[in-house]
A and B are shown apart, each in its own frame.
Chain A
Amino acid sequence: MVKILLSSSIVFPATVGAVSFFARNTGLRKAMIILSSFLIAVISILIAFYLKIPGLYYFYGSQYLPDLIIKLGDFFLIFYILWISYKISEPKIAVFTLLQLIMLVYFDFFVLKESEVPFFFADELSILMNLIISIVGSIIAIYSLGYMERHERLHHVSPTRQPRFFAIVLMFIGAMNGLIFSNSLMGLYFFWEFTSLCSFLLISHDGTKEAAQNGARALWMNMLGGVAFIAGIIFLYTHYGILSLDELLKFSGGNYITIFVALLGFAAFTKAAQPPFESWLLGAMVAPTPVSSLLHSSTMVKAGIYLLLRLAPIMKGSILSNIIAIYGAYTFLSTAVLALSQSNAKRILAYSTVSNLGLMIASIGINTSSSIAAAMMLLLFHAVSKGLLFLCVGTIEQEINSRDIEDMKGLILKMPVTSLITSIGILTLMIAPFGMLLSKWLAMEAASRHFAVAMMMAAGSAVSVIFYSRWIGNLISTTKMGVLGRIRKCKEKLPNSILFALESLAFMAVAMSLFVGKIFNALIKPEINLMHMELSIRAASGYLSNGGIGGFSVYPVFIMIFLAGLLSLMTIKNSPALHTTSYMCGLQHNTMDYEAKNYYLGSLFNEDRFKRYIDFISAALILLLMGGSII
Chain B
Amino acid sequence: MIRVQAMPFDPGGELNTFTASVAGAGAVMSFTGLVRDVSGGLSEMEIEHYPGMTEKALGAIRADAMGRWDLADAMIIHRFGALAANEVIMMVATASRHRKDAFEAADFLMDYLKSRAPFWKKEVTKDGADWVAAKDSDEDALTRW
> Are A and B physically bound partners?
no
Which residues of B are at the interface with A, using a C-beta cutoff of 8 A? none
